[in-house]
Chains A and B, each alone.
Chain A
Amino acid sequence: MAFNILVVDDSATMRMVIKKTVEISGVPVGHFFEAAHGKEALEILDNNWIDVLLSDINMPVMNGIELLAEIKNDENLKRIPVIFITTVASDARMEEARRMGVAGYVTKPFQPEVIRGVLYKVLEDAYQQKVEVPTQSVAQEKDDDLDF
């Protein structure tokens, strides 16, 4: 099964980094969608099937907490697991997010392995199926293919 992934972050550069991190993690990706804030994300969610959403918290227009609340209040969207990838790492903020139903939490700065670990766990929990973890990452495979 390939997963449709939506990344929400007001930094285009961070979205690109997260996309690359997901790609090298080996998670099978169907379509990759991007939004710069919560409102834009809701428009994408209205028109596309999304399997997992990775979102920043601190964003203009609509922040990640507001986006999570919208998703959890919508019968059609509340099934979608949401992972926060954010600099906001206070215990209180994480507890608030957990109460609201966030599926995972990654704090910036992050190691790619952390996103990979959280993403696999969330996908397995949400879809009740084993997500095949490659024995080596895609990046390693690419390195191995190089002849010197």
Chain B
Amino acid sequence: MDDQFRSLVYRACSAVFETMFFLFPEPIDEIPGAGRRGAFAPNGAHIRASITCHGSSSGSFKFFIPRLLAVHITTNFLGVSEQDINEEQILDTAKETVNMVVGSLLGKIDPTGATKLQIPEATMLDNFSVTEVLKEKGLFLFNTDFGPLCLVYTQQ
């Protein structure tokens, strides 16, 4: 995975979170070592939102969003308070997040439009540990006020 691709992924992700959710995730470029592990301590309830694409740039993208962060982006997205949202809206926002990030990324890496996006999916994970994905090659990490946001890209 080259630096340009990493940079495009970080930019696409930041643009979506800033524009739609008024949140500014901080990209963490280096693979986290033991010394940085503390920054990724919060585990537990997460949302996994994934999407695959087929064509000249085939692959899958999986977001692991801490539940606290998912709730925050859902309330900001809908402009309502926490007690006014439900689980379905949280999952829906997570799906729309991965859809927007990968869709805007494809617009930059595949101007011919040959790569087709599939329909996104999202699942609640009661006990997700961030350490599960730390060894992934296509790992992108963001620090947020609501816990670490992970994105894993797997080329096919």
Contact residues of A with B, CB < 8 Å?
10-14, 16-17, 20, 58-60, 86-93, 96, 107-111
With an 8 A cutoff between CB atoms, is B15 at the interface?
A: yes
Knowing A93-B113, A96-B113, say if A13 contacts B93 (CB, 8 Å). Answer: yes
With an 8 A cutoff between CB atoms, is B19 at the interface?
A: yes
| Interface of chain B, main secondary structure | helix
B113 near A11 (CB under 8 angstroms)? no
A89 near B15 (CB under 8 angstroms)? no
Chain A proximity of B76: nearest CB distance (Å): 10
Complex interface: chain A residues within 8 A of B111 (CB): 90-92
Q: Which of B24-32, B99-107, B135-143 contacts A (4 or more CB under 8 A)?
A: B99-107
Task: Say which size band chain B's interface belongs to.
Answer: 20 to 34
A12 near B92 (CB under 8 angstroms)? yes
B99 near A58 (CB under 8 angstroms)? yes
- B15, B16, B77, B99: the one contacting A17 at CB < 8 Å is B77
8 more CB-based (< 8 A) A-B contacts, given A11-B95, A109-B15: A11-B99, A12-B88, A13-B74, A14-B92, A87-B100, A88-B103, A88-B107, A90-B107
B118's nearest neighbour on chain A, judged by CB, is: A58
With an 8 A cutoff between CB atoms, is B20 at the interface?
A: yes
* A27 to B43 CA separation, bound complex (whole angstroms): 45
Knowing A86-B103, A87-B102, say if A109 contacts B16 (CB, 8 Å). Answer: yes
* A60 to B100 CA separation, bound complex (whole angstroms): 16
Interface code B73-102, partner A: CB below 8 Å = 1, 0 otherwise?
010011100000000110011011001101
Chain B proximity of A92: nearest CB distance (Å): 4
Complex interface: chain B residues within 8 A of A111 (CB): 19
